[in-house]
Amino acid sequence: MPSGNGKSCCGPGYASPAEAIKAEREKLLYTVALYTGTGIEKPDYLATVDVDPASATYSQVVARTEMPQIGDELHHSGWNACSSCHDDETKTRRFLLMPGVRTTNINVIDTADPRNPKLHKVVSGDEIKAKTNLSGPHTVHCLGADIIISMLGDADGNGPGGFLHLNEDFEIVGRWDNDITGMNFNYDFWYQPRHNMMVSSEWGAPNTFMPGFDLEDVAAGKYGHSIHFWDFKNKSIEKSVDLGEEGMIPLEVRFHHNPESSHGYVAATLSSNVFHWHKNGAGVEVEKVIDIPAIDVEGFPVPMPSLITDILISMDDKYLYFSNWLHGDLRQYDISDPSNPKMTGQVWIGGLLGKAPEVNGVDVHGAPQMIQLSLDGKRLYVTTSLFSTWDNQFYPSIMEGGAQMYLVDCDNVNGGMSINPDFVVDFGKEPNGPSRAHEMRYPGGDVTSDIWL
């Protein structure tokens, strides 16, 4: 639980209107699943996974909510309500927004019946492009009653993108940002209201990353290497920090959950480094604190980076977790001293180094990619798909084998990680054929759902 009297309308301490529904939510995990890019002409869908060990359907997909169109490329998701609406008891974590990166459609899912989510509304991607000149929706965060979504490109798929503003009825308000000077590309963001800070990161323009990864695009300057510190109230970039070659393709950004803290982290994916930032007397200090060495692998054109693709921080701000998608490992670091992380746990799942090609009796297609941690910090869920064209390029067996989901048990007191032997969801055996599992949301609350005030 964050210190500093942080409040959340959707996390610990929130009194659900229906305790039965609250209890049911704690036994489920919502997972983005897609057919886009797999060769199967079916819509992407929301998979509802039973994560209750006492259930007869434990580690099974118990519901599939299809999108109304084919080709969305569902990627990330986010709730309509979070801690920034703590003073409004009518707001609950009920609607899950599921953007399609390729179509720019925003699919809104109603989870009032947690075990049977239903499509509520689709915000048209064509309308978003026409009204805002933005495309490629990615990260979703609530903003009081309203919602902000990072957009990766303009209407034609070129950079730098910006931010979309929706109201509580999922209507287009317009662009949220007032001044994006200094931003070359866009990707993830997180804000810390008590410090009037927002941090955003850079991937590349949709026209660059959607066809697949080309190393020549890096040399041509088509991928980002900067992070941006915003004046949150003025909706303008206050300072941009170029991370250089050590910070190529900074993706996921995470602040501490403690609303009084200015500490946060960003993972530079291609450079395979983690940077830490915080306020000091002179402004904001940014420093590299973790460096994962590249490895020479036969047949790989360059020394293979680990490719850090997702990071998160435990709710008590004690542990940092991240995934190395090419190497194939998940890591846990104690960040009690934010500038000096200490590795306390590591597990291997798939990957191109060949250390764990099979886990829990299932062939792994891909490697640890998206991760999600329960509020108590004991259960870390992981899926193995990154992005359809990148999956097909680096892990071609995923076409036939689909993605997998695993559970990693975490020691949240002394540190340490172990793969749970009783849990695996094999998306290679879905009714419509092998699909790809990506981002996950714990409907009862997880460590990336809420921003605290």
> CA–CA separation, 328 vs 390, rounded Å?
15
Q: Which two tokens stand for residue 95?
A: 């609607």
| DSSP alpha helix (H) spans, 80-172 | 125-132
pTM for this one? 0.94
> CA–CA separation, 321 vs 377, rounded Å?
11
The number of residues making up the chain comes to 453
- pLDDT for residue 20: 61
Q: What is the pLDDT of residues 282-331, one digit of tens each?
A: 899 999 999 999 999 999 999 999 999 999 999 999 999 999 999 999 99
Q: Taking the CB of residue 102, how many other CB atoms lie within 10 A of it?
A: 22
Q: Which two tokens stand for residue 346?
A: 């590591």
Containing structural domain, residue 297: 19-441
Residues whose CB is less than 8 angstroms from the CB of residue 54 and which lie 6 or more positions away in sequence, other chains included: none
Q: Taking the CB of residue 115, how many other CB atoms lie within 10 A of it?
A: 16
Residue 171 lies in a domain: yes
The residues with which 125 forms a beta bridge, in sequence order, are none
Residue 451 lies in a domain: no
Q: Provide the CA 385 distance to its chain's centre, in angstroms.
A: 12
Q: What is the CATH number of the domain that holds 273?
A: 2.130.10.10
Rounded to the nearest 5°, which phi and psi values hold at 219? -60, -30
Residue 14 lies in a domain: no
Residue 448 lies in a domain: no
- pLDDT for residue 8: 41
Domain count of the fold of the chain: 1
Residue 6 lies in a domain: no
- pLDDT for residue 446: 87
**Strand locations in 205-318 (E):** 226-231, 236-242, 250-255, 264-268, 273-280, 283-291, 308-313
Q: From first to last of its 453 residues, what are the pLDDT tens digits of the chain? A: 344 444 444 433 333 444 566 667 779 999 999 999 999 999 999 999 999 999 999 999 999 999 999 999 999 999 998 655 555 666 688 999 999 999 999 999 999 999 999 999 999 999 999 999 999 999 999 987 799 999 999 999 999 999 999 999 999 999 999 999 999 999 999 999 999 999 999 999 999 999 999 999 999 999 999 999 999 999 999 999 999 999 999 999 999 999 999 999 999 999 999 999 999 988 999 999 999 999 999 999 999 999 999 999 999 999 999 999 999 999 999 999 999 999 999 999 999 999 999 999 999 999 999 999 999 999 999 999 999 999 999 999 999 999 999 999 999 999 999 999 999 999 999 999 999 999 999 887 789 987 877
Residue 95 lies in a domain: yes
- Mapped onto helix, strand or coil, the DSSP state of residue 242 is strand
Residue 302 lies in a domain: yes
> CA–CA separation, 318 vs 221, rounded Å?
36
Residue 12 lies in a domain: no
